């Protein structure tokens, strides 16, 4: 198992750390080669199209990947729409 610890600096000087498991399976059971991460806040008008295009691009390129939508507390249907299109939220 290969894990990576990633630390990012926030816009206001804070930081966050997360462990990324590079051996996690992509949808369909393949190992993840690429994760596409999309920030989201009340994007119900566009999130479904963005997720569909990202997934289609992964397929067209032959890359085993996943789409992750990082929701920042949306109060609309962004989360439901992203999940319905196959993204992890």
Q: Is the pTM of this model over 0.75?
A: no
Mean local confidence (pLDDT), 48-68: 96
Going by C-alpha positions, the residue among 61, 66, 65 that lies closest to residue 83 is 66
- E strand or H helix at 41, and its extent? none
Going by C-alpha positions, the residue among 14, 6, 8, 62 that lies closest to residue 34 is 62
DSSP 8-state code for residue 25: B
Percent residues over pLDDT 90 in the chain: 65
- E strand or H helix at 66, and its extent? strand 65-71
Better-predicted residue by pLDDT, 61 or 9: 61
Write out the two tokens for 44: 């119900």
């Amino acid at each position: 198992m290969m894990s990576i610890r990633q630390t990012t600096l926030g816009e206001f000087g804070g930081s966050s750390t997360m462990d990324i498991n590079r051996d996690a399976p992509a949808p369909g059971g393949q190992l993840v080669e690429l994760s596409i991460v999309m920030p989201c806040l009340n994007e119900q008008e566009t999130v479904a199209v963005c997720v569909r295009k990202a997934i289609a691009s992964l397929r067209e390129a032959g890359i085993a990947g996943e789409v992750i939508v990082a929701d920042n507390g949306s109060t609309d249907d962004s989360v439901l729409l992203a999940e319905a299109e196959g993204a992890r939220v």
